């Protein structure tokens, strides 16, 4: 079973689908790194664990977005040098 029928379809997937998969893979890692750093501070400020987790979720999504933009920028920078 061939996943992609032609090279154009494969390139379109690599441009759109691969960053989404990288974001899905990196979001839990960022979550694990931020939980011990931000939870004590946010819990003392808000007093609610559900609000704290919601705020950490927003920070994780924002950081994942920024990292994907950074990797995309660096990828086009290196890709254009090789051509």
- pLDDT band of residue 1 (cuts 50, 70, 90) is very low
pLDDT tens digits, 34-56: 999 999 999 999 999 999 999 99
The tokens describing 60, both together, are: 């994780």
Residue 21 lies in a domain: no
**Does some domain include residue 4?**
no
Helix (H, G, I), strand (E, B) or coil at 6: coil
Instruction: Return the structure tokens found at 68.
Output: 């994907």
Contacts of 4 (CB under 8 A, 6+ apart): 10, 13
Please indicate, yes or no, if residue 25 is contained in any of the structural domains: no
Domain that holds residue 49: 39-83
Residue 29 lies in a domain: no
Enter the pTM of the model.
0.71
If one counts the domains in the chain, the total is 1
């Amino acid at each position: 079973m061939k996943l992609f029928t032609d090279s154009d379809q494969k390139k379109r997937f690599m441009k759109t689908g691969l960053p989404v998969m990288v974001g899905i893979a990196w979001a839990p890692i960022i979550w694990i790194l931020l939980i011990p750093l931000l939870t004590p501070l946010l819990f003392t400020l808000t007093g609610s664990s559900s609000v704290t987790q919601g705020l950490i979720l927003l920070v994780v999504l924002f950081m994942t977005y920024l990292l994907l933009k950074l990797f995309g920028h660096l990828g086009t920078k290196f890709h254009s040098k090789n051509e």
